[in-house]
């Protein structure tokens, strides 16, 4: 199978999801030409704003392979991943992300992530979300414990 076939599968998942009351997004994780896992947008069904198709697929793929690293995998998405999903792909260490529709297609359908794409280029005072740092004396203790743990699993 090739990129076109896997993208068609992601689009099919997205279309099916719409008929079942979900959002118009689907994703597939592939390794060595085999599907590892798939995902559909489950935000409204699960009442989980992080349950985007890509994140659902990444979670399922990590469980399927028994590792938090998805190195060697490709993430196929029916639409350009939003910043959260792209960050998730980076954390999962997928090798490639391939998508069909782009962010402009999504925006025309009411899924405009434009503000999210540019958020970190703006001062925090313009984010529309109060983000405050309150430095406690103990703030670094978890990191010190992490560094001191010779048995830790680095990621």
3-state secondary structure (DSSP) of residue 147: helix
pLDDT tens across 78-99, in order? Answer: 999 999 999 999 999 999 999 9
Tell me the helices (H) and strands (E) count for the chain, helix number first.
7, 4
| Cα 5 to Cα 68: distance, rounded to the nearest angstrom | 26
State the catalytic residue, choosing from 12, 20, 35, 54. Answer: 54
Q: Average pLDDT in the 110-123 region?
A: 93
Closest listed residue to residue 94, CA positions, set 67, 134, 128: 67
pLDDT, averaged across the chain: 97
* Structure confidence at residue 97 (pLDDT): 99
* Structure confidence at residue 67 (pLDDT): 98
Instruction: Evaluate if residue 1 carries a pLDDT over 90.
Output: no
pLDDT tens across 22-55, in order? Answer: 999 999 999 999 999 999 999 999 999 999 999 9
In this prediction the pTM is: 0.94
CATH for 3-148 is: 3.40.140.10
Closest listed residue to residue 6, CA positions, set 66, 73, 93, 85: 73
12 is catalytic: no
The region of weakest confidence among 10-14, 37-41, 102-106, 116-120 is 116-120
Query: Which of 8-28 are b and which e, b meaning 16 or more Cβ less than 10 Å from the residue's Cβ?
Result: bbbbebbeebeeeebbbbbbb
> Which residues are registered as beta bridge partners of 98?
76
């Amino acid at each position: 199978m090739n990129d076109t076939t896997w993208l068609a599968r992601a689009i099919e998942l997205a279309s099916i999801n719409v008929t079942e009351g979900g959002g118009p997004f689907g994703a597939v994780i592939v390794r060595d030409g085999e599907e590892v896992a798939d995902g559909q947008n489950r935000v409204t069904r699960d009442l989980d704003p992080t349950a985007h198709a890509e994140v659902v697929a990444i979670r399922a793929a990590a469980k399927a392979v028994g590792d938090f690293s998805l190195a060697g995998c490709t993430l196929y998405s029916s639409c350009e991943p939003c910043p959260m999903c792209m960050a998730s792909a980076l954390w999962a260490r997928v090798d490639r992300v391939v998508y069909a529709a782009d962010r402009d297609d999504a925006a025309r359908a009411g899924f405009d992530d434009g503000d999210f794409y540019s958020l970190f280029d703006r001062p925090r005072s313009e984010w529309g979300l109060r983000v405050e740092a309150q430095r406690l004396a103990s703030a670094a203790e978890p990191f010190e414990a992490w560094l001191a743990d010779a048995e830790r699993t680095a990621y």
